[in-house]
Amino acid sequence: MLETVDLCISERLTGVTTALQPGTITAICGPNGAGKSTLLSALAGLLPADEGKVLLDSAPLSAMPPRERARAIGYLPQSGEVAWDVSVANLVALGRLPHGDAGKFAVASALAATAMSDFAARPMSTLSGGEKARALLARVLAGEPRWILADEPLAALDLAHQIGLLKVLRAQADSGVGVVLVVHDLALAMNYADRVLVLDEGRLKADSAPEEALSLDIINDVWGVKARWLGEPGQRALTTIE
């Protein structure tokens, strides 16, 4: 279990307490600046807490050796920039660094899962935004982490690749991996997540099943938008009223 207890980080997060379950997909939603990326970085052990703590399986994440933490938690940041130009295959192979092995099977599986096998030899600099995003996710998958924390991994993807990657992430969750995604698209969160955390101005406004966390009252309260859900559970679409 990956938990935060009364987590405070400067002005950005205030008293966030939540316990995330392995084997499920959790979506973190909220308006711009609500603290979603801050929470995700803290869950990855990359931002120190001012107050409170982050626990992985009841042990403080801050006390875990970095290599062990990197094996347990795969983190995909929002910006997705690659500092130097490498081939897709070499970038994805970097996902094995915490293990200190080539992990050829894991690298090949990650490339296949993200539909990037045909791009393996291509320099990262030549990829489109969506292809880059898929290669970066492949790098995380190659590390075979117990937790995947990804900041808007679907934002640059076309519809087919969004659905494809959501299937990959669901398969990961079904195999016991804890998947945590920052998602702006509330319909995606509603239809694909098992649970939704709603952040507003650094505070947790909701933490429950999607239908409850993304109720029309909460959407109105947090986003200031009057909206209506259409369709059946699992196939919801959101429409605004004014």
Nearer to ligand ATP, 30 or 103 (CB): 30
Does position 35 interact with ligand ATP (CB under 6 A)? The reply is yes
Residue 38's CB: how many other CB atoms inside 10 A?
20
Single out the residue of 14, 26, 37, 114 in contact with ligand ATP (rule: CB under 6 A).
37
| Interaction residues for ligand ATP, span 68-107 (CB under 6 A) | none
Nearer to ligand ATP, 10 or 128 (CB): 10
The tokens of 41 are what? 């970085």
Complete DSSP assignment for 23-53: TSEEEEE-STTSSHHHHHHHHTT-S--SEEE
Nearer to ligand ATP, 5 or 46 (CB): 46
Stretch that binds ligand ATP, among 34-42, 56-64, 167-175, 217-225 (CB under 6 A): 34-42
Does position 153 interact with ligand ATP (CB under 6 A)? The reply is no
Stretch that binds ligand ATP, among 16-24, 29-37, 51-59, 122-130 (CB under 6 A): 29-37
Nearer to ligand ATP, 35 or 98 (CB): 35
Distance CA 93, CA 240 (A): 44
Is the backbone of residue 185 left (phi > 0), alpha (psi -120 to 50) or beta? beta
**Shortest separation between residue 197's beta carbon and ligand ATP, angstroms:** 11
Largest CA distance in the chain: 55
Q: Are strands 59-60 and 227-230 parallel, antiparallel or unpaired?
A: unpaired
